[in-house]
Structure 1
Amino acid sequence: MRLESITLARGDRVVLEHIDLHLTEQRIGLVGDNGAGKSSLFRLICGLDQPQSGRVSVHGYRTDEASERRKLPQHVGLMFQNPDDQIIFPTVAEELAFSLTAAGIGKQQARQQARDFLAARGLPDWAERAVGELSQGQRQQVCLMALQITTPATLLLDEPYSALDLPSQLRLSTQIAATSQQIILSTHLLEHVQDFERVLWLDKGKLRGDGPGRDICAAYAQDVRERAASNAAAEVLQHAAQADAT
């Protein structure tokens, strides 16, 4: 997929500026502070937002062409940060079957394929489980399986580890590692992307780093440490000045 000279603005605020990317690697990480533009980049790739300038092409389909944009769900899937924003149906099997019926498969066939899909992953007993009884990590697993079952070429995972405890992170990480599709994953937990072949670092809407996971994660972490130290020093000086004033 390609993003060519992309600029995205919301009102007077520039969200992404002059972004040029050709994303071909199987595992791509996306890091940066809150508000850096990571979720907005995903929305552009899915065709949910349109840039003020530039062009986005996803597996040969242009997102600014309505007829081509309608075909994007067959090729790219987005997993939201909060699974409750994505899950619709009360049971796991129904949720997975919905992904298939939305892709044009009949309801009966979709239900059977959903059960077969779960059984193949050692989870046959999940079929009738109520989504509301699942943990946060298990609901994230369901969201990912709902994307995997229709086999889009690319999966966009927006902060999938947020609010998960360590065991849930490990289970989800194992599920992601076993996925054959291209993964683009945004996260603040650098250990989950430091071994990726490519990581992008967004900083205030601009691409500040692009390279091997370990290099970019180390550079971003160092930048965070330096900013924290600078802020701490500024606070000390401020408190000293206030003390002198009194």
Structure 2
Amino acid sequence: MAGTGTITEQGITLSGASYAVAGRPILSGLTLSLTEARIGIVGRNGSGKTTLLRLMAGLVAPTEGAVRIEGADPADRKAMLRHLGILFQNPDHMILFPTVGEELAFGLRQMGESAERAAAAVDALLAAEGRAHWAKAATATLSQGQRHYLCLLSVLLMRPRTILLDEPFAGLDLPTQARLARRFATLPQRLVTISHDPAAVATADRVIWLDAGRVRADGPPADVLPAFTAEMARIGEADADADLAG
């Protein structure tokens, strides 16, 4: 399979990247170089976190500025298979096929692997993960946590060098969160975790706090997260929904 899944020095760059819908700014003039192994992006709902993920993933194009993944345009979906993987918050938005084996093989087939090589890679991964018995299982029979893990395995099979994680622990019980966190910790890829929960990014190398589409703070978690947590508490005490009316 192409790609090594290991981090390169050239990461994700945003150069004056903005995004607006019907003239309403969602992200404004973001200039960032994301090269660390573990990066967290935090912000309250509506801060622009999900839009930033979509920009980095090439799912939307900036209305101003540029986004590059290891120098490549994220809109080039075929090229991005080697650079970037995405684990969405809802696994049902990712799973397409009726069986686990078919679901896992799909990405490899998209990358040009033969059916035989894709099937062999799927079997090898499931065996290594202690889930060989999953191969012919119906995806509809998997629990929420199992479907989430299946989506992660689908991404890992394509061996991208960076993985975007969209609220990776949302909706999962505590044991499943713990298992997933341990798996993330072993990965050689660069992980960019987008979350409203400070605990999800507490061990990151760098945390970026988005507020109203702009960077409010950027630095080590020990510097950024206490300020973010204090501000969220202040907003909650004041009345978190008052500014959403209109």
- Match of residue 189, structure 2, among 176, 181, 192: 181
> Separation in 2 of the partners of 1:98 and 1:133?
19
Q: Kindly provide the amino acid, as one letter, of the partner of residue 79 in structure 2.
A: K
Aligned pairs for 1:121-160 (under 5 A) are 121-160=129-168
Aligned residue for 2:15? 4
Residue 7 of structure 1 aligns to a residue in which SS? Answer: strand
Residue 239 of structure 2 aligns to a residue in which SS? Answer: helix
RCO higher in 1 or 2 (8 Å CA, sep ≥ 6)? 2
> Separation in 2 of the partners of 1:218 and 1:168?
26
> Separation in 2 of the partners of 1:112 and 1:13?
49
Aligned residue for 2:60? 49
Aligned residue for 2:176? 168
TM-score when normalising by structure 2: 0.89
Structure 1 residue 69, shift from structure 2 partner: 5.2
Identity across matched positions, percent: 41
2:26 is the counterpart of 1:18: no
Aligned residue for 2:9? none
Aligned residue for 2:8? none
Q: Residues 45-69 of structure 1, C-alpha deviation per residue, up to 9 Å, x if partnerless? A: 1211111111111111134xx6x55
Structure (1 or 2) with the larger CA radius of gyration: 1
> Separation in 2 of the partners of 1:188 and 1:125?
35
Q: Residues 184-218 of structure 1, C-alpha deviation per residue, up to 9 Å, x if partnerless? A: 01122321211111111111111111111232221
- Match of residue 43, structure 2, among 4, 7, 32: 32
Q: How many residue pairs were aligned?
A: 230
> Separation in 2 of the partners of 1:197 and 1:87?
31
* Gaps in structure 1 of 5+ consecutive residues: 235-246
Aligned pairs for 1:80-91 (under 5 A) are 80-91=88-99
* Gaps in structure 2 of 5+ consecutive residues: 1-11
> Separation in 2 of the partners of 1:62 and 1:80?
21
- Match of residue 79, structure 2, among 71, 88, 103: 71
Q: Kindly provide the amino acid, as one letter, of the partner of residue 220 in structure 1.
A: F
Q: Kindly provide the amino acid, as one letter, of the partner of residue 195 in structure 1.
A: T
Quick one: structure 1 residues 69 and 147, their matched pair in 2 at CA, closer, same or farther if it must change by over 3 Å? closer
2:207 is the counterpart of 1:199: yes
Q: Kindly provide the amino acid, as one letter, of the partner of residue 136 in structure 1.
A: Q
Counterpart contact for 1:19–1:206, Cα < 8 Å: yes
> Separation in 2 of the partners of 1:227 and 1:44?
28
Structure 1 residue 37, shift from structure 2 partner: 0.9
Residue 14 of structure 1 aligns to a residue in which SS? Answer: strand
2:115 is the counterpart of 1:107: yes
Q: Kindly provide the amino acid, as one letter, of the partner of residue 83 in structure 2.
A: H
Q: Kindly provide the amino acid, as one letter, of the partner of residue 215 in structure 2.
A: L
> Separation in 2 of the partners of 1:145 and 1:84?
15
2:233 is the counterpart of 1:225: yes
